[in-house]
Amino acid sequence: MIIKILKYHWRAVLWIIVIGVACLMPANKVPDVSFFLKIPHFDKIVHFAMYFIFTLFLMSGFSRQYGKTSIKAYVLSFVWAFLFGVLIEFIQEKIGRNYNIYDMIANTTGIIVSLLLFNSIKWILRNIL
């Protein structure tokens, strides 16, 4: 089972590690990004981007696994990305970081936009780049 997951979803698994490290490191260990903090809502942009990319990786894996981009791939990608985002927010609260409903909204927006754009992005990556 682990081999099957890694065969199709190794990018998503690596991205889970990136999100986990970024979101669960102690607040006093977070790198100084004061330059970026001048950008309004920069942290929400980061949440959007992390889950946008995560969902692209999930969709790509499920599309390869099932041989096409199916409704099942969309549903599984949404559910896994959404549940992981909720889990991370609740874990953050338990380890002394802030639980933030607006982070969850940014995460979910990134997921939805990724799902809406997946076929266009897939076509661009395959045919242009």
**pTM score, two decimals?**
0.86
Q: What is the pLDDT of residue 30?
A: 63
Q: Is the pLDDT of residue 129 over 60?
A: no
Q: Estimate the share of the chain in helix, then strand, then coil, as percent rounded to the nearest 5.
A: 80, 0, 20
Question: What is the amino acid identity at position 53?
Answer: I
Residue span of the structural domain in which 23 resides: 2-127
Q: pLDDT by residue (tens digit) across 3-29?
A: 877 899 999 999 999 999 988 887 666
DSSP state of 69: -
Give 106's pLDDT tier (boundaries 50, 70, 90). Answer: very high
**97 C-beta neighbours (distance < 10 Å), count:** 17
* Domains held by the chain: number: 1
Q: pLDDT by residue (tens digit) across 18-77?
A: 999 988 887 666 666 566 566 777 889 999 999 999 999 999 999 888 888 889 999 999
Whole-number mean pLDDT of the chain?
86
Q: Which tokens in the block code for residue 18?
A: 């990136």
- Which residue from 10, 21, 92 is spatially nearest to 50, judged by alpha carbons? 21
3-state secondary structure of 19: helix
Q: Is the pLDDT of residue 124 over 50?
A: yes
Calculate ∠ Cα 69-75-78, nearest 5°: 110
Q: Is the pLDDT of residue 118 over 70?
A: yes
Q: What is the pLDDT of residue 109?
A: 98
Rounded CA separation 104/81 (Å):
11
Q: What is the pLDDT of residue 117?
A: 95
